[in-house]
Amino acid sequence: MKDLHQSGMTCGVCREPGSFVLEQRPRPETAPAGHRLVDIAAIGICGTDFHIFEGKHPFLNYPRVIGHELSGHLADGPDAGQLVVVNPYLSCGTCRACRRGKPNCCSAIAVLGVHTDGGMCARIAVPEGNLYPAEGLTPVEAAMVEFLAIGAHAVARSGCGAGDRVMVTGAGPIGLGTALFARIAGAEVHLMDLSTKRLAAAAELFGFTETHRPGEDILSGALAEGFDVVFDATGNAGAIEAGFPLVAHGGVTVLVSVVKESISFADAEFHKRESQIIGSRNALRADFDRVMAAIRAKEVPTAALASAVLPLAELPGQFGDLARNRDHLIKVLVTP
């Protein structure tokens, strides 16, 4: 029998709101049928993790090993050692959405690090179909694929492309990812955010010079006819409703963020413009592949996205500060 110390691993656990600690838990040595063992290489911290830490996540039971933006190396099988991206959305495979090729909105979806323990640890077992080869990427780049895939999926849902004028409201990580893939699709991209620091960083680091603050008279001059697509990545009901008048006739609103409140709009304006409102949830395999191809093609400035890379051992002492100062960060990554 293996020594317990030899088979243990350190995990990053939110024990309760405001409490992030390191715990020793057993390391899996065998994978269930249909699963593979993955030695985690890097973990991205996102808004969901901060909400868990702050006690604001509605679908979570504590304690929870967090972490769903994951890269790692296969730990078993003939291709052991291969770098992979982990798709953290665990779908049932049998509901109507899954049967129709939409596992991202599975009716019984579970997300690693939210509904079940995640990957802020040394090793996890993951369904083999949720592991995507990441040739040509570094482990840190591979850990950024999932959050970028959310933006890539939203852009794919919108159908935007060359000649379209796009507004992305919310210049956090998800908004920036959406803006990057809208630009890759050929659209003219504008950004809106309350934070002048975020807008300045978007201009300096990513070249998004068409930036706006809420309340400005945007619909004037060359922009008087509005935007063909408005993406909301704010997570704010008021911001979503304020975005509807920005949509041009024949245009689309894409809700990338989700809010608890009800959203209302003027039906007469909606019909007059023949508008569309599209929800965008998670991402599909095609979106993950699209992101990895863009990273390999140097279309995504991953070095600018990575605000910091920290060892897991340092995270308990810094998690609270990171949560409080996240408006000044894009993506913080952790290595086990």
Break the chain into its structural domains and give their ranges. 4-143+301-335, 151-279
Alpha-carbon torsion (265, 267, 268, 273), positive or negative: positive
* Mean per-residue pLDDT of the chain: 96
pLDDT digits (tens, 9 = 90+) for 97-142: 999 999 999 999 999 999 999 999 999 999 999 999 999 999 999 9
Distance CA 242, CA 66 (A): 33
User: Residue 308 corresponds to which tokens in the numbers above?
Assistant: 């910091």
Residue 317, classed as helix, strand or coil, is: helix
Phi, then psi, of 89 in degrees rounded to 5: -90, 110
Q: Does the 4-143+301-335 domain belong in CATH 3.90.180.10?
A: yes
Indicate the pTM of the whole model: 0.95
Residue pair 137/83 in contact (Cβ under 8 Å)? The answer is: yes
**Residue 313 region by backbone torsions, left for phi larger than 0, else alpha for psi between -120 and 50, else beta:** alpha
Which residue, among 177, 173, 198, 172, has the nearest Cα to 189 in the 3D structure?
Answer: 177
Q: How many CB atoms lie within 10 A of CB 209?
A: 12
pLDDT of residue 154: 98
The answer on pLDDT for 5 being more than 70 is no
pLDDT of residue 57: 84
- C-alpha distances in Å from residue 175, one per residue of 101, 195, 199, 334: 25, 13, 11, 21
pLDDT of residue 81: 98
pLDDT of residue 1: 34
| Superfamily for domain range 151-279 | NAD(P)-binding Rossmann-like Domain (3.40.50.720)
Strands 165-169 and 306-311: unpaired
pLDDT digits (tens, 9 = 90+) for 274-321: 999 999 999 999 999 999 999 999 999 999 999 999 999 999 999 999
